[in-house]
Amino acid sequence: QRVVNGAPQQGLSGSVRLGFAALMFAPVDAVLVVLGDQPRLEPAVIHALLAAPINDERPVAVPRYADEGSGPNPVLLLRSAWPLVDALIGDRGLGPLLAARPDLVVEVTVAGSNPDIDTREDLARLSGGASA
């Protein structure tokens, strides 16, 4: 199912809320939120999150990358954690919300890093070239 954000000025939070709303009545138990600006995401990270010991008391799994500097993405949320998404505002994702509720989060240690690519400079750094 394709979901289009008709109000992009609401920022990232609006897109995340729309995505979860579209799944509200779907027969799924969990959602894996994967960002499109992290091309170095390794399949092993996804496998580790899917194997994480999450439950209704700790319904969220995030990676803790061995190399510092990467945010907690992707994020796996059991359905019982979906109401957290309603509290998202502005151009922020789940990170600040989860930082405020560490009691709900299982951190999974994984190798490497997962840098965001938001600018041409980020892309140049990732590919080992000079900044564009």
Confidence of residue 16 (pLDDT cuts 50, 70, 90): very high
Q: Which residues contact 82 (CB under 8 A, 6 or more apart)?
A: 20, 24, 31
Confidence of residue 42 (pLDDT cuts 50, 70, 90): very high
Query: How many Å apart are CA 33 and CA 104, to the nearest integer?
Result: 16
Report the chain's mean pLDDT, rounded to a whole number: 90
Question: Residue 31 gets which letter from DSSP?
Answer: E
Q: From edge to edge, which strands make up the β-sheet containing 30-33?
A: 30-33, 75-78, 60-65, 105-110
Q: Is the pLDDT of residue 29 over 50?
A: yes
Residue with tokens 């994480």: 52
3-state secondary structure of 30: strand
DSSP of 57-76 = SS-EEEEEESSTT--S-SEE
pLDDT tens digits for range 108-124 = 999 988 888 888 998 88
Which CATH number among 1.20.200.10, 3.90.550.10, 3.50.50.60, 3.40.50.2300 corresponds to the domain 8-127? Answer: 3.90.550.10
